[in-house]
C-alpha cells in the first residue's frame, strides 16, 4: 500500500475505534486467515454471577462443623448446608480479585451471608484459590486444584457435569477443619458462576467465517463450559482449546499457527499478553489491561467483537465510512 493509503486506513480505523500500531500492521491484518478469541471478557462479558450452590451429602470421611452442629455440637456427622458451602467459598474467595471470585462473594452477600476475610490466601492462576479461613483451610477451584491436593472429586462429578453442560463455570469447594494443620480436606460441594455471551459475538463469528476466516477459541475454562459457549456463538467444537493454563496460551497459539496459519489473537486480560505477542497479529479488546494493550498490534477501543471484523475491513480498504 502507498503511504497515503496507509494513512487513510489508520485514520478510518481510529474513527471506528480500531487502533493500529503502525502502517505495517494494517498490511499484516489483511493476511490474517485465522482469528483466535479468548473466551472470558472477549466473547463473553466477563461479568460473572453466582447461579448455583450445591451441598454434597455427608460421607464417612469426617465431621464438619456446619450450621447443624452449632446448637448442640453433638452431631457426629452434620449434613453441610448450601449456606455453609457458600460461606466457606466466599470467605476464601474474598482474597481474590478474579471475576469468578467476586461473583461468589457478591452472591453470598446478596443471600445475607457474612463474608469474613481469610487469614491467609494464595491465588493459583488458572486453577483457583487456597485460603485459611475461620472455618479451616479451604480450596475453591477446578478439578486439577483439588486433585493435586489429594481430594477425591468423584462425589461431585454429577453436579459438575450438569452445571458445565449449562455453560456455567463450576468450582469445587473443600475444607480441612480443626486444629490439625495437615488434616485432610473434605469435599463440601460445588458453586457455579455464569457469564453472559456478548450480543454481537455470534454475528462477529458468522461474518468472519463468511470471509473464509477460521475461528478458534482458547480458554482456561473446562471443555464442557467452553463448548457450550462455542456452540452459542457458532464456533466449531474442533476449534476449541479448553483448560489452557495462562502460561500455556502462547503455546496454544503457536500450535494453531504451526501449519503456516496467520492468526489474529483477540484477548483482554493480563493472561493474554504472551499469546497476543506470539500471534501473527495481537489484538487487545475493550477495556483491556495495559499489559494486553502493550503486547498488542491492534487495540479495539470498544468491547465489541464485531470490531474485529471492522479491523479486517479497514485493512482491506472496504470500510470507508464512519459507522
Catalytically annotated residues? 38
- The residue among 10 and 40 lying less far from Mg ion, judged by its C-beta, is 40
Grid coordinates in use for 26? 494494517
Which parts of this chain interact with Mg ion (CB under 5 A)? 40-41, 269
Q: Which residues contact 78 (CB under 8 A, 6 or more apart)?
A: 58, 63, 64, 65, 66, 67, 68, 69
Total chain residues near ligand ADP (CB under 6 A): 22
Instruction: Report the distance separating Cα 238 and Cα 307, nearest Å.
Output: 24
> Residues 113-132: x/- map of binding to ligand ADP (CB under 6 A)?
-------------xxxx---
- The residue among 9 and 167 lying less far from ligand ADP, judged by its C-beta, is 167
Task: Provide, rounded to whole angstroms, the least separation between the CB of residue 218 and ligand ADP.
Answer: 7
> Residues 212-241: x/- map of binding to ligand ADP (CB under 6 A)?
-------xxx--------------------
Query: According to DSSP H, which parts of the chain are helical?
Result: 3-15, 23-30, 82-93, 99-110, 143-148, 157-165, 201-210, 223-233, 249-257, 273-278, 290-295, 306-316
Among positions 268-307, residues that touch ligand ADP (CB under 6 A) are 269, 271
Largest CA distance in the chain: 83
The residue of the chain with the least Cβ separation from ligand ADP equals 220
Grid coordinates in use for 162? 450438569
For residue 315, state whether it binds ligand ADP (rule: CB under 6 A).
Answer: no
**Site residues, ligand ADP (CB under 6 A):** 39-40, 93, 96, 98, 100-101, 126-129, 140-142, 169, 171, 219-221, 246, 269, 271
Amino acid at each position: 500500500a502507498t503511504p497515503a493509503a496507509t494513512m487513510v486506513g489508520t485514520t478510518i480505523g481510529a474513527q471506528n475505534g480500531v487502533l493500529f500500531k503502525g502502517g505495517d500492521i494494517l498490511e499484516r491484518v489483511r493476511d490474517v486467515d485465522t482469528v483466535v478469541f479468548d473466551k472470558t471478557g472477549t466473547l463473553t462479558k466477563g461479568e460473572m454471577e453466582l447461579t448455583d450452590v450445591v451441598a454434597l451429602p455427608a460421607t464417612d470421611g469426617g465431621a464438619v462443623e456446619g450450621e447443624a452442629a452449632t446448637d448442640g455440637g453433638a452431631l457426629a456427622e452434620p449434613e453441610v448446608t448450601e449456606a455453609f458451602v457458600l460461606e466457606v467459598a466466599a470467605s476464601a474467595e474474598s482474597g481474590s480479585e478474579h471475576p469468578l471470585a467476586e461473583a461468589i462473594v457478591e452472591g453470598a452477600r446478596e443471600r445475607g451471608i457474612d463474608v469474613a476475610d481469610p487469614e491467609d490466601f494464595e491465588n493459583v492462576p488458572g486453577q483457583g484459590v487456597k485460603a485459611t479461613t475461620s472455618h479451616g483451610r479451604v480450596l475453591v477451584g477446578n478439578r486439577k486444584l483439588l486433585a493435586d491436593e489429594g481430594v477425591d472429586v468423584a462425589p461431585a462429578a454429577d453436579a459438575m457435569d450438569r452445571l458445565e453442560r449449562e455453560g456455567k463455570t463450576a468450582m469445587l469447594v473443600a475444607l480441612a477443619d480443626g486444629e490439625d494443620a495437615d488434616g485432610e480436606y473434605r469435599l463440601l460441594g460445588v458453586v457455579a458462576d455464569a457469564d453472559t455471551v456478548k450480543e454481537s459475538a455470534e454475528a462477529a463469528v458468522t461474518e468472519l467465517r463468511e470471509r473464509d476466516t477460521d475461528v478458534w477459541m482458547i480458554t482456561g475454562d473446562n471443555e464442557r463450559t467452553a463448548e457450550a459457549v462455542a456452540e452459542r456463538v457458532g464456533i466449531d467444537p474442533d476449534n476449541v482449546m479448553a483448560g489452557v493454563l495462562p502460561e500455556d496460551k502462547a503455546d496454544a497459539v503457536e500450535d494453531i499457527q504451526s501449519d503456516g496459519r496467520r492468526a489474529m489473537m483477540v484477548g483482554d486480560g493480563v493472561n493474554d499478553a504472551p499469546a497476543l505477542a506470539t500471534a501473527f497479529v495481537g489484538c487487545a479488546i475493550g477495556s483491556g489491561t495495559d499489559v494486553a494493550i502493550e503486547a498488542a498490534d491492534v487495540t479495539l477501543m470498544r468491547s465489541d467483537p464485531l470490531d474485529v471484523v471492522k479491523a479486517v475491513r479497514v485493512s482491506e480498504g472496504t470500510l470507508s465510512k464512519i459507522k
